[in-house]
Structures are given as structure tokens and as C-alpha cells.
Amino acid sequence: MLHTSIEIHDLTVSYQNKPVLWGIDCHIPIQQLTALIGPNGAGKSTLLKSMMGLIPIASGFVHFNGKTIDSMRKHISYMPQRESVDWDFPISVKEVVMMGRYSKLGLFKKPREADHLIVQECLRKVEMEKFADRQISRLSGGQQQRVFMARAIAQDTDFYLMDEPFSGVDAATEITLLDVLKQMRDNGKTIIVVHHDVQAVAEHFDNALLLNLRKTAMGSVKEVLTEHNLQQTYGGKLQILSDVGHLLSIEQKKTRLR
């Protein structure tokens, strides 16, 4: 049987016997851009970490195209939150991005000219090539986030799990990075992004997984970003539900006119 999705089955994660994710069941399509959204404390980061095998799970499993994380790890890139990184470490921008090539080099192998060219191209994509020799501690938060994404891109894997990659960046930079992710998707990459901007998800993503300790909904953004599902997920605390509904109705009208 050919498996062509990320399958999350009955996934439960607990901290000190307190469930923080409960019975998550869904299939995430491959070669698409999927947003993971929900309120603070909903378990979004926990879900990514459990998918990567970084924290133990109480029950259930995660399969990437029918295979476990242990056999797929080299095919998966994980981008944690920027706050989890020591940005005072004395290293340059291009050295950070070159770290993304290490899994391709093998033990004790030096970067080849091709690796340097890939690093240069990844920095160009996130518009950071002129900062290549700058120490990372001298960058703004948004610039650091762009470098972090360039490092993930340099890994050239099949799956990308990104935890709030747009945190701290301005609106123009977010559009630039979204365009990069769309190009990666169009080149066959599968990308899951923790995001907080529901309107941006509605406009730019293929799918959305709505989460608040449990799965609220999973599917295409046109199917699942409904007022009912968002109310269920955010508990009525989201102020832009009508704006999202208006945006989706416009997109649906455009689709009918094509």
C-alpha cells in the first residue's frame, strides 16, 4: 500500500500526567503548505516536537509516508522557535546556514563549493546575502528569523516542520518568506507551519489544522476556516472571524469565476 501523507493517529502527549495533546487523529497531505493554528497553550509546539520524536508520547503514533520518525529523520527539517537558540554564540550568518548542510556532508567532511553556493542561494532567497559575514548577535530579531529559515531551507529535505517562522518579522518580510515556502511546495516539499495570523493562513496556505489540546478541524482552508470551527478552537476570543469569513467568500467567488 502506498502511503502519501503524514498520518497522526490517536496521539496523546502528557506532562506530569496532565494531557497537553489528546487523541489527535488526522492525515496531512504531502507536497502542500499546511498551517497549524490555535490559541496560546493549545499544544502546537508540542505537536511538532512529538512529531520529531523530541518528546515522549503517551499513546498513538506519527508516520511520514508510512514510516516512523526514526527511519525518516534525515528527510525532515525542524525549525524550532527563535527563542530556543543562543543568538550570542560567536558565529557568522553564513556559518549558521552552512549548519543546514552538515547532514549532507557526513562526519568530518568539509563543505564543498556546491555547499557554499547552496548557502549563498538560501541567503539570497531570504534577502540576507549582504549580511553573510555578520555575527548573528548583531542582527535584529527579524533578521535572525530569516537566517534561521535559510538554514532550514539549506537542509534540502522532503518535510519541513516550522514553529512560528514569522515571529518578529515585519509584514513585507513575511510575504517574502511565504513566497519562499510556496516555491518550496511547488518543488515538491511538504511544509507544516505554526502560525498565528488566521487571515494570512486563509490567503496563503493550502490546508489548516485547528488545534486546542484536541483537533478541532483539519482540511483545506476553504473547508475548515469557518466561523464555527474558529469559535470552537479559540473559544470566541478571536476578533477577526468576520474578516476571515469575508476573505474566504471573496476567494470562493474568484474560484467560481475562473
- The per-residue pLDDT for range 175-196, each reduced to its tens digit, is 999 999 999 999 999 999 999 9
- Contact indicator for 199, 243 with CB cutoff of 8 Å: yes
The Cβ of residue 183 has, within 10 Å, a number of other Cβ atoms equal to 12
Number of domains in the chain: 1
106: left (phi over 0), alpha (psi -120 to 50) or beta: left
How many residues are present in the chain? 258
* CATH number of 42's domain: 3.40.50.300
pTM, two decimal places: 0.87
| Residue 93 domain boundaries | 5-257
pLDDT at 246: 53
Place of cell 502542500: 32
Asked if pLDDT for residue 65 goes beyond 90, the answer is yes
Q: Is 7 buried (19+), middle (13-18) or exposed (0-12) by CB count in 10 A?
A: middle
pLDDT at 256: 47
The SS3 call for residue 70 is helix
Say how many CA atoms lie within 13 Å of 64 toward its Cβ: 25
pLDDT at 82: 78
pLDDT at 3: 60
pLDDT band for position 70 (cuts 50, 70, 90): very high
Q: What is the mean pLDDT of residues 121-146?
A: 93
- The per-residue pLDDT of the chain, averaged, comes to 88
